[in-house]
Amino acid sequence: MRVARIHQHGGAEVLVSEDVPEPKIKGNQVLVRVRACALNHLDLFVRTGIPGMKFAMPHVLGSDIAGEIVEVGDLCERVKPGWRVLLSPGLSCRQCEQCLSGNDNLCRRYTLFGYGVDGGNAELLAAPEYGAIPIPDELSFEEAAAVPLVFLTAWHMLLTRARLQPGEDVLVLAASSGVGSAAIQIAKMFQCRVIATAGGDEKLGKARGLGADHAIDHYRQDISAEVKRITGKRGVDVVVEHVGAATWPKSLESLAPSGRLVTCGATTGFDARVDLRYLFSKQWSLLGSFMGTMGELHQVLKFVFRGQLKAVVDRVYPLSEIRAAHERVERKEQFGKVLVRL
């Protein structure tokens, strides 16, 4: 089978297309013919190298995967050959206290396709049966692959960690990102007023098209000043932050008293500072968030499968052009998800 993988860390040039043996499945695994795989910033981080982390080489990237079931192991009872499925990007032991309590994203062995194990930039992939979720016929493989990681992350951030309430004011950083485009839609589904940031008129227009009530150009406008103007100096109830050091000060300044900032990333750097005087006097909550549970994935997929939440597909490349796909994300040219088709 054909795969795109890395043998060393570096730029997009380290991605190579190769022929490798087909995977063999075990009793509780399924064999998936991958039809589409979406990129995430995680792919770029792993490709370039994460300080303190070691990855077995060669390594196949790709966490968001959709395709067809080719074969099932002899211990599988639920999934059948021929099913069109997406795969849960997260993998856990399914046996520890956290997993059995429904908190599988807190499992000590929790990992992701394309991170701790080989991912979906391959024609065939072995996956655990529990992670295979049937998709509706009307949902394309590209749309299905654009959903899992970012919608699960945004749902966990807003509903579980920030405990979003209907009608609240929400600031979503970087609307053109996968998490940003998902968060706008989820917040609007709960009748919230959404303020989104993006760079340039085209992306600002697309953010409004997803439902953002107000859009701020984070390159030309002062985020917190605009938020205060829009909210009558009050600030927002929830900030969805995943950009990191570049936006952190303005994200904090945008919070209303008793506001909650929830973050799932640090794309522009992790060395963020907090003035404790504001933290306690304004009674802010600063919340970390990582992925989400299998139960939450099934929750958010209900709305995707009903058409109430929609995948935002930016561009689809053939696997042979995966370097160009990585470069598009690195240049921040996309709005929504960039995918490779197999």
Tokens for 168?
């609240």
Q: What is the mean pLDDT of the chain?
A: 97
The answer to whether residue 267 scores a pLDDT higher than 90 is no
pLDDT at 149: 97
Q: In the predicted model, what is the mean pLDDT of residues 267-279? A: 92
Q: In the predicted model, what is the mean pLDDT of residues 173-190? A: 96
Q: In the predicted model, what is the mean pLDDT of residues 33-60? A: 96
Tell me: do 169 and 79 sit in the same domain: no
pLDDT at 332: 92
pLDDT band at 321 (very low <50, low <70, confident <90, very high): very high
Tell me: do 63 and 120 sit in the same domain: yes
Identify the CATH number of the domain in which residue 114 sits. Answer: 3.90.180.10
Residue of 280, 291, 183 whose CA lies nearest to 239: 183
pLDDT band at 338 (very low <50, low <70, confident <90, very high): very high
Tell me: do 8 and 69 sit in the same domain: yes
Tell me: do 143 and 158 sit in the same domain: no
What are the beta bridge partners of residue 37? 65, 340
Identify the CATH number of the domain in which residue 224 sits. Answer: 3.40.50.720
φ/ψ (deg, to 5) at 114 = 80, -5
Tell me: do 321 and 335 sit in the same domain: yes
Tell me: do 139 and 100 sit in the same domain: yes
The answer to whether residue 263 scores a pLDDT higher than 90 is yes
Peptide bond before residue 128 is cis, with ω within 30 degrees of 0: no
Could you give the number of structural domains in the chain?
2
Model-level pTM? 0.96
201 found inside a domain: yes
pLDDT digits (tens, 9 = 90+) for 47-83: 999 999 999 999 999 999 999 999 999 999 999 999 9
pLDDT digits (tens, 9 = 90+) for 203-258: 999 999 999 999 999 999 999 999 999 999 999 999 999 999 999 999 999 999 99
Q: Give the whole-number percent of the chain exceeding pLDDT 90.
A: 97
Residue ranges of the alpha helices (H) in 237-337?
Answer: 248-253, 276-281, 294-305, 322-330
Tell me: do 59 and 35 sit in the same domain: yes
162 found inside a domain: yes
Tokens for 313?
């597909």
306 found inside a domain: no
Tell me: do 20 and 32 sit in the same domain: yes
**Three-state DSSP state, 227:** helix
The answer to whether residue 122 scores a pLDDT higher than 90 is yes
The answer to whether residue 189 scores a pLDDT higher than 90 is yes
Tell me: do 216 and 252 sit in the same domain: yes
Tokens for 247?
């936006």
Which residues span the domain enclosing 111?
Answer: 2-147+311-341
Question: From CA 88, how far away is CA 145, in angstroms rounded?
Answer: 10
Tell me: do 142 and 157 sit in the same domain: no
